[in-house]
Structure 1
Amino acid sequence: MIKSKRFEQLDKLIVEHDGMLRTSQVIDCGIAKAIFYEYVKKKNLQQVAHGIYVSEDAWVDGMFLLHLRCSQAIFSHESALFFHDLTDREPSPYAITVRRGYSTTRLKAEGFSVYTIKSELYEIGLTTGQTPFGHAVPIYDMERTICDLIRSRNSIEMQTFQGALKMYARRKDKDLRTLMRYAGMFRVEKILRQYLEVLL
């Protein structure tokens, strides 16, 4: 009797969370691990990462899943451009930034573009964006993203780079004061001025 009640509870939970369940969520709802694992088996849920299960017919939000697996990762560079409507391409592979010293081997092996940054610059411009599925994930703001692009310009497609700068220059909500402040921190002030002189 208890089990069928718990299964009903899990059915509701999985619908609420768009076909994705975390072991920690289930335990927080007072459902025993053993019952949850039985449910996983019965419903044929797929384990997509440690403690994260999805139903077979779920459209998995890849960005949100990456955030759940690696809370240290902040969407940056081309991925951040996508969040800010500064590119018309959907980011593939996802570009993320982690603190220097964090092990990037597994993420790189899975094909993600991984950038590392020293700790004191890691949280500059940190904000939140919404994935196309409506989940909140950590991203860098527009101004930080522009500085990141300039720092990594040799590894970014010229078309993407120039397109983003042109779109940014046309934006009503751009914050040039913040942009110059960040540029000083990231030591790209001189190059940034050269680009802005042409665009503004």
Structure 2
Amino acid sequence: MDYRKAIIKYASENNGFVESSWCVGANIPTTYLTRMVKAGELYRIDRGVYSVNKTDYDQFYFFQQKNKVAVFSYVNALYLLGETDLIPDYLEVTVYAGYNAAHFPKSTIVHYVSKENLLLGKVTLHTPMGNLVSCYDFERTVCDIVYNRSKVDGELFSKTVQSYAASANRNLTKLFSYAKRMKCLRRVQEVMEALI
């Protein structure tokens, strides 16, 4: 087997990226990655992540490649959805209760929810660099922000709920369905009634 060709083939099918974990799973010695970096065939982007092109660092994409259970939420979700002009200077994700997030970068804000609610409102979107990542939709993000109102910046809370209420794409049926599952229906209804 020509390991170099296998690595390049996989990278071409994976947006130009290859992870050392894939090599291990494919029984390809990871020393080939190091050799290919030295030969200029690959570029080391992050620990265990390589690219066939010299590329800008997409923190959302690379974080999620290593932490597939994490879903971008709160400010990061609003940013990826195009619903805020804030550019996050930290990662903010949600994982299920009991998940060990100790290996996440120290600056990461981690929220915990039940396993049943982790996938509620999860969508796949493009980062500004064009890579696909998972984040919550606008309805789920509104529910999260209302549910945790005391922990959310007041200006962010106001702008988010006002933006949702004014949105032509708002889906109140979906919003209230999510709120019911998250046990914050009354609070969400009160906020929406005041704005609509």
TM-score (norm 1): 0.82
In structure 2, the residue matched to 1:79 is 76
Q: Tell me the equivalent position of 1:94.
A: 91
Q: Secondary structure at the match of 1:105?
A: coil
**CA 1:13–1:169: 2 relative to 1, 3 Å:** same
Partner of 1:128: helix, strand, or coil?
A: strand
Normalised by the length of structure 2, the TM-score is 0.83
Structure 1 partner of 2:112 = 116
Distance 1:12 1:193, change over 3 A: closer
Gaps in structure 1 of 5+ consecutive residues:
none
1:193 counterpart letter in structure 2:
Q
Q: 1:131 corresponds to which residue?
A: 127
CA displacement at 1:13 relative to structure 2: 4.7
Tell me whether 1:67 sits opposite 2:70 in the alignment: no
What whole-Å deviation, never above 9, does each CA across 1:46-65 have from its counterpart, x for those lacking one? Answer: 3623x213589520111000
After alignment, is 52-61 or 20-29 more displaced? 20-29
Residue type of the alignment partner of 1:96: V
Cα distance between partner residues in 2 of 1:58 and 1:114: 27
Q: Quick check: which one's helix share is greater?
A: 1
Contact 1:46 1:56 in 2 (8 A): no
Classify 1:129/1:11 alpha carbon distance in 2 versus 1 (closer, same or farther; 3 Å). Answer: closer
CA distance in 1, matches of 2:62, 2:106: 13
Contact (CA 8 Å) 1:48, 1:54: kept in 2 or not? no
- Segments of structure 2 that go 5 or more residues without pairing to the other structure are none
CA deviations 1:152-179 (Å, max 9, x no partner) are: 2222211111101111111111110111
Give aligned pairs, total: 194
Q: Residue 70 of structure 2 contacts residue 95 of structure 2 at CA under 8 Å; is this kept in 1?
A: yes
Q: Distance in 2 between matches of 1:187 and 1:28?
A: 41
